[in-house]
Amino acid sequence: MNRRVVITGIGVRTPGANGTKEFLDLLTAGRTATRRISFFDPSAYRSRVAGEVDFAPEHEGLSPLEVRRMDRAAQLAVVCAREAVTDSGLQFEEFDPTRVGVSLGSAVASATSLEQEYLVLSDSGRNWLVDHTNLSPHMFDYLVPSAMPAEVAWTVGAEGPVTMVSNGCTSGIDSVGHGCQLIREGSADVVLAGASDTPITPIVVACFDAIKATTPNNDDPEHASRPFDRTRTGFVLAEGAAVFVLEEHERAKRRGARVYAEISGYATRCNAYHMTGLKTDGRELAEAVTVALDEARIDPTAIDYINAHGSGTKQNDRHETAAYKRSLGEHARRTPISSIKSMVGHSLGAIGSIEIAACALAMVNDVVPPTANLRVPDPECDLDYVPLTARQKRLDSVLTVGSGFGGFQSAMVLHRAGGAR
């Protein structure tokens, strides 16, 4: 059984962009959407900038009941799922629900709601023995966040395999990889796959402050995220979500679906080295890339664009550069590579899916998004990282990668819709 998987619908919410049209616009313009944190007073924190989504749930089709019960990350996921479903044109009422699955990624899931509840229950931290008499009925779902994929399943009545994939910062690429596996093995014909994270809340800001992974460049929020730039000082925390309708290829073709791209390869490995640290050789990420290319049955020379992890930390961008050289050889030097985290920040578990959306839109529109804020080249990152300005280019095969705490290293290959393989 050689089942192939295509993307037929996309819903996306990022800083600076509501929906695919605005997202493509932002990517093409190389516009940044990072700013001083506005969700709470950040003055006591080391990193005071973030990528925030301007999201008004009541204007996004969520009922007051849904808004009350759902954590912000779940709200974004549901809104993106509904948008992807509409975008796909798939009539789910006519579809066998037992053949529909969900694979939703998130790194910190209900962190925002957890913190809000904590302040109430503990009286702002005063009481270790928290108060059970003023308990939100949704507190359990903030503790165990599998309510999130359930909410996405309910948007279409999915009754097939439903799960949350929570692999830290590779959740968003791994959840889509997982969805592909479900379709390939025949467990589902359609999967709503994607990811959502809303980590702009004090505890998460504080934990990245503690390890100095986020940038302290607070005086210039719009230019704070500087992947591959020599003056980079860490990543900009962000929120966001992207959800796809993944469909079995023959079925999509039969119904005349508009196909964004085919997902032709996916692989994941672990560095088994350190929970947060990276070695400089990028060996395991290179291995994931190589295996993904093998699955896609293409040579490194066939890659037209690489969407990087490019978080903007000193160690990541160096690690990644080494991984590209190791896996792609000389072709690494001839391929445009960019990090959209320069524009929308790093939304942890969500960004992997957001980056897949960027790749799909890039392929449909023949555009290579730039790396914004890249003004001072770093000799340790001496590849073509597409500084500042987007380029027009026909893209037949695109590679996207992710890297995250716990040692996860993932890679995915997308192929142009209708292209020969």
Partner 1 sequence: MSEGVYVTGIGLLAPNGAGLEQHWAATLAGRSGIATLSRFDVSRYPVRLAGQVDDFDAARHLPSRLLPQTDISTQLALVAADWALADAQIDEGFFADYDTGVVTSNATGGFEFTHREFRKLWTRGAAAVSVYESFAWFYAVNTGQISIRNRFRGPSSALVAEQAGGLDAIGHARRTIRRGTPMVVTGGVDSALDPWGWVAQIASGRLSTATDAHRAYRPFDVDACGYVPGEGGAILVLETASAAAARGARQVYGEIAGYATTFDPPPGSPRPPGLRRAAESALADAGLTPDQVDVVFADASGVPELDRAEAAAISGLFGPFAVPVTAPKALTGRMYSGGGPVDVADALLSIRDGVIPPTPGTAEVPEDYRIDLVRGVPRHREVTTALVLARGRWGFNSAVVVRAVPGPRTPAPRRPQQQQERT
Partner 2 sequence: MSRMTVDDLRRVLVECAGEADGEALTADRQDRDFEEFGYDSLALMETAARIEAEYGVRVPEERMAELRTPREVLDLVNDALVRTS
What residues are annotated to the active site? 169, 309, 346
Contact partner, 272, from partner 1, partner 2, none, Cβ < 5-8 Å per class: partner 1
Asked if 343 and 262 count as a contact pair (C-beta separation under 8 A), the reply is no
Backbone φ and ψ of 265, nearest 5°: -160, 145
- Structure letter (DSSP) for residue 236: P
* Sites of contact with partner 2 (CB under 8 A): 210-212, 274, 276-277
User: Which of 90, 109, 245, 296 touches partner 1 (CB under 8 A)?
Assistant: 109
Q: Which is nearer to partner 1, 264 or 338 (CB)?
A: 264
Q: Interface mask (CB under 8 A) for partner 1, residues 301-320, using x and -? A: --------------------
Backbone φ and ψ of 339, nearest 5°: -115, 115
Least distance between partner 2 and beta carbon 285 (Å): 20
Least distance between partner 1 and beta carbon 270 (Å): 4
Q: Which is nearer to partner 1, 20 or 175 (CB)?
A: 175
Contact partner, 290, from partner 2, partner 1, none, Cβ < 5-8 Å per class: none
Q: Which is nearer to partner 1, 59 or 126 (CB)?
A: 126
Contact partner, 375, from partner 2, partner 1, none, Cβ < 5-8 Å per class: none
DSSP for 86-154, please give it. Answer: HHHT--GGGS-GGGEEEEEE-SSTTHHHHHHHHHHHTTTTT-SS--GGG--TTHHHHHSTTHHHHHHHH
User: Which of 3, 69, 120, 159 touches partner 1 (CB under 8 A)?
Assistant: 159
Based on the number of CB atoms within 10 Å of its own CB, is 63 exposed (0-12), middle (13-18) or buried (19 or more)? exposed
Asked if 191 and 353 count as a contact pair (C-beta separation under 8 A), the reply is no
User: Which of 271, 321, 335, 403 touches partner 1 (CB under 8 A)?
Assistant: 271
Least distance between partner 2 and beta carbon 209 (Å): 10
Least distance between partner 1 and beta carbon 98 (Å): 7
Binding to partner 1 in span 181-210, by CB under 8 A? 181, 185, 187, 202-203, 205-210
Asked if 78 and 39 count as a contact pair (C-beta separation under 8 A), the reply is no
Contact partner, 277, from partner 2, partner 1, none, Cβ < 5-8 Å per class: partner 2
Q: Which is nearer to partner 2, 212 or 421 (CB)?
A: 212
CA angle 412, 367, 87 (to 5 degrees): 70
DSSP for 26-80, please give it. Answer: HHHHT----EE--SS--TTSS--EEB-----GGGTT--HHHHHHS-HHHHHHHHH
Q: Should residue 297 be labelled a site residue for partner 1 when binding is judged by CB under 8 A?
A: no
Q: Should residue 412 be labelled a site residue for partner 1 when binding is judged by CB under 8 A?
A: no
Binding to partner 1 in span 23-52, by CB under 8 A? 44-46
Q: Should residue 70 be labelled a site residue for partner 1 when binding is judged by CB under 8 A?
A: no
Q: Should residue 172 be labelled a site residue for partner 1 when binding is judged by CB under 8 A?
A: no
Least distance between partner 1 and beta carbon 259 (Å): 25
The identity of residue 352, as a single letter, is: G
User: 217 CB contacts (<8 Å, ≥6 apart)?
Assistant: 49, 223, 224, 233, 234
The identity of residue 390, as a single letter, is: A
Q: Which is nearer to partner 2, 226 or 249 (CB)?
A: 226
Tokens 């524009």 found at:
343
Binding to partner 1 in span 211-230, by CB under 8 A? 211, 213
Q: Which is nearer to partner 2, 118 or 405 (CB)?
A: 405
Classify residue 282 as left (phi > 0), alpha (psi -120 to 50) or beta. Answer: left
Least distance between partner 2 and beta carbon 277 (Å): 7
Least distance between partner 2 and beta carbon 259 (Å): 45
Distance CA 351, CA 46 (A): 23
Tokens 């709503």 found at:
192
Q: Should residue 65 be labelled a site residue for partner 1 when binding is judged by CB under 8 A?
A: no
How far is CA 256 from its chain centroid? 28
User: Which of 62, 164, 252, 356 touches partner 1 (CB under 8 A)?
Assistant: 164
User: 124 CB contacts (<8 Å, ≥6 apart)?
Assistant: none
Q: Which is nearer to partner 1, 274 or 393 (CB)?
A: 274
Using CB under 8 A, count the residues that bind partner 1: 84
Q: Which is nearer to partner 2, 19 or 216 (CB)?
A: 216
